[in-house]
């Protein structure tokens, strides 16, 4: 346990999906940052700017894809940390279910917020 580089990794489906969403995040986070902050003169849009930004359907698709990807990646990471506590199989199953529910709620909230803003258009 002295050096993690020496340990042999045994990838699980959770690890695999975290890797896949991580790769997706490199692209989606970069797009999100450029579109939301770097090309905006003062670094953040006012309300009218946000509404205008979400007027383009492809932007809405990319933002929703970003939300789903970042939420999956984050909650898979939380799952991995909790699993390292050495819990029982039953507890691990409950944690997976709870985190899945939290992920669905998070994405649902994001969709509701996007819908609420785009209704202003």
Q: Which chain residues interact with another protein by CB under 8 A?
A: 1-7, 9, 11, 15, 19, 22-23, 25-26, 29, 38, 42-44, 46-48, 50, 70-71, 74-75, 77-78, 81, 84-88, 90-91, 94-95, 106, 109-110, 113, 116-117, 120
Residue 99, C-beta contacts closer than 8 angstroms, at least 6 positions apart: 75, 78, 79
Between 2 and 121, CB nearer to another protein: 2
CB-wise, 15 or 61, nearer to another protein? 15
Which CB, 61 or 109, lies closer to another protein? 109
Rounded to the nearest whole angstrom, what is the least distance from the CB of residue 58 to another protein in the complex? 20
């Amino acid at each position: 346990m002295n050096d993690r580089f020496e340990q042999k990794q045994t990838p699980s489906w959770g690890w695999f999906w975290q890797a896949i969403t991580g790769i997706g995040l490199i692209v989606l986070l970069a797009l999100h940052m450029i579109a939301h902050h770097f090309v905006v003169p003062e670094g953040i849009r006012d309300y009218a700017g946000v509404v205008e930004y979400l007027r383009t359907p492809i932007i809405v698709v990319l933002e929703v894809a970003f939300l789903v990807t970042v939420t999956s990646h984050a909650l898979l990471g939380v799952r991995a940390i909790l699993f390292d506590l050495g819990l029982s199989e039953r507890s691990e199953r409950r944690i997976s279910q709870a985190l899945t529910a939290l992920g669905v709620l998070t994405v649902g909230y994001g969709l509701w917020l996007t819908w609420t803003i785009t209704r202003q258009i």
